[in-house]
Every structure is written in structure tokens, then in C-alpha cells.
Amino acid sequence: MFKKLFGSNEPKEEKILPWIALNQEIQLNDIEEKSKTKTQVIFKHSTRCGISRMVMNQFVTSYDTALDIDLYYLDLLNYRTVSNEVGYKFQVMHQSPQLIIIKNGVVVSHASHDAINEIDLRRFL
């Protein structure tokens, strides 16, 4: 009963996602091209924002590692110009945190904040 209430002292295994670092604007052309054969997902994250960290943790916890998608991680504080170019290229207003799903060269869905974890990525395979 106490383990259910307070947890266990045993360390939890950390889930590692297949992140691809998005840190160059030129990668956006590759993402657009790859999206014609495989769903591409960009997670824009602010490393200084508690809400962004909370949403990221929830996303990681619930992410299905069996999904056949390319998953990009964008640290928007260190790569602000890349973040701006994502908005221009894919016509999505900047928010943080933000999840952008690209298929066949266009954004098919996007969400920010808590709505990120409501998206079922399987719908976009």
C-alpha cells in the first residue's frame, strides 16, 4: 500500500526517445522532403520554462517508441533563428512548447502547451 502511495525507492528507468537535434535551418528542407514518405515531428522546447519542461516530461513518458516517425528536438533558446524559420516555412505561429506534425510537405497538425499531450501521433502515420 505504501509503495502505491509514496512510490518505491527503486530507481526508475529513464525512457530515451529517438530525438534528432534540429539546429540548422537547412534541415527544414530535409524535413519537408522526408515528410513525403515518413511523418516528421518537431518538438520546440524552451529549456528555461517550467511549463515546457513539464509538457516535455509528459510527452516523453507517454510516447510510443514503436512509432515510425522522425522526431526532432528544437532548443528554441539556443536556436532562435531555426525556430523562427520553422514558423515561416511551415506557416505556424510560434509558441512554446510546441509540437508540429509535417506530412507530405505541409503541417497536418500542431499544438502547444497541454494540448501537445492530447495529440495521438498514430493518426498521422
| pLDDT tens sequence across 1-37 | 445 545 555 555 678 899 999 999 999 999 999 999 9
**In the prediction, which pLDDT does 59 show?**
97
In sequence order, the 6+-apart residues with CB closer than 8 A to the CB of 110 are 92, 98, 99, 100, 101
* Cα 123 from chain centroid (whole Å): 15
Q: Provide the grid cell at 105.
A: 510537405
Can you give the pLDDT at residue 117? 94
Distances (CA, A) of 23 to 66, 72, 75: 25, 10, 8
Chain-wide mean pLDDT for the chain? 91
Q: What is the mean pLDDT of residues 49-57?
A: 95
Predicted model pTM: 0.88
Q: CB neighbours of 29 closer than 8 A, spacing ≥ 6?
A: none
Mean pLDDT, to the nearest integer, of 65-88?
Answer: 96
Tell me if 124 sits within 8 A of 101, measured CB to CB.
yes
Q: What is the largest CA-CA distance in the chain?
A: 53
> What whole-number distance in Å separates Cα of residue 38 and Cα of residue 58?
24
Average pLDDT rounded to a whole number, residues 40-69: 95
Q: Where are the domains of the chain?
A: 16-124
- For domain 16-124, the CATH architecture is 3-Layer(aba) Sandwich (3.40)
User: Which cell numbers hold the place of 120?
Assistant: 495521438
